[in-house]
Amino acid sequence: MNYVPDFSIVTDNWIVLLRGLLVTIEIWIPSILIGLAGGFLLAQARLARSGWLRGVSLVYVELFRDTPVLIQLIWFFYAFPILVGLQLSPYAAALLALVLNTSAYASEIFRGGIRSIHRGQMEGALAIGMSRAQAMRRVILPQVVKRMLPAFTNRTIEVAKMSSLASVISVHELMYQGRLLSSTYYRPFEILTAVAFIYFVLIYPGTFLAGRLEKHLARSN
């Protein structure tokens, strides 16, 4: 191999990559936070008494789980505006798609978690006079979160990686900037390696902290 890597191309353009990283974070964090809230509501609907609510929630979840994320992103950018007569910015379309997608997955995690907490826990809470909402907040959810933490961590990582797909609808996130730089300077090796490394540095601390948190929560077992 006679190729001599030259990483100065990366350091010279660090500001471009940084800008991309910031946009990646701007997609990632809201997608997770709003997606978790949406997933919680969807899970409630899925466990509701009303058959109508259960049905809507089920159809929603299956639609998002059983189609590729890539098509979801592109659909919300190109097709959705035709449906509602309102053009979305690439960022808004990507955020919308990822929020809805995350909601679908998070709802399954919540649903599994809530169902796995023994019925006696809800009853124990109600029996001392708690409302359902209080029981959910004080008794059920803390146990769900603990039990489901690995699944939530996984999802968080998935979404960070999925956000790179937003480059196809020209969201100026990290992947987009990386591809732009590499085609401008014909230095794909240095630039794509650097981009992969940045993703790793972004995601790994989260995985690490989640592992620590899991251990901390497991102390009551």
Partner 1 sequence: MTAHPILDVRGLHKRFGDHHVLKGIDFTVEPGERVAIIGGSGSGKSTFLRCLNFMEVLSEGEIRLDGTRIGLERKGTVTYPEKQLCQVRERLGMVFQQFNLFPHMSVLDNVMEGLVTVKGLPKPEARRIAEAELAKVGLTDKHSAWPGRLSGGQQQRVAIARALSMQPEILLFDEPTSSLDPELVGEVLRVIKQLAEEKRTMLLVTHELGFAYHFATKVIFLADGVFHEVGTPDEVLKTPSKPRTQDFLRRFGEFAF
Phi, psi of 85 (to 5 degrees): 65, 40
215 in contact with partner 1 (CB under 8 A)? no
Direct distance between the N- and C-terminal alpha carbons of the chain, in angstroms, rounded to an integer:
55
120 in contact with partner 1 (CB under 8 A)? yes
221 in contact with partner 1 (CB under 8 A)? yes
36 in contact with partner 1 (CB under 8 A)? no
How many chain residues interact with partner 1 (CB under 8 A)?
A: 23
| Contact flags string 71-110 toward partner 1, x per CB under 8 A | ----------------------------------------
139 in contact with partner 1 (CB under 8 A)? yes
Rounded Cα–Cα distance for residues 61 and 113 (Å): 16
Rounded Cα–Cα distance for residues 145 and 173 (Å): 30
Nearest CB to partner 1, comparing residues 15 and 219: 219
Rounded Cα–Cα distance for residues 27 and 35 (Å): 11
54 in contact with partner 1 (CB under 8 A)? no
CB of 151 vs partner 1, minimal distance in Å: 18
Nearest CB to partner 1, comparing residues 85 and 129: 129
Nearest CB to partner 1, comparing residues 89 and 134: 134
65 in contact with partner 1 (CB under 8 A)? no
213 in contact with partner 1 (CB under 8 A)? no
CB 181 within 8 Å of CB 13: yes
Q: What is 12-25 written as a DSSP string?
A: HTHHHHHHHHHHHH
Nearest CB to partner 1, comparing residues 53 and 217: 217
Q: Site for partner 1 (CB under 8 A): which residue of 50, 84, 128, 215?
A: 128
Rounded Cα–Cα distance for residues 117 and 149 (Å): 14
Whole-number Cα distances in Å, 139 to 124, 128, 219:
9, 12, 17
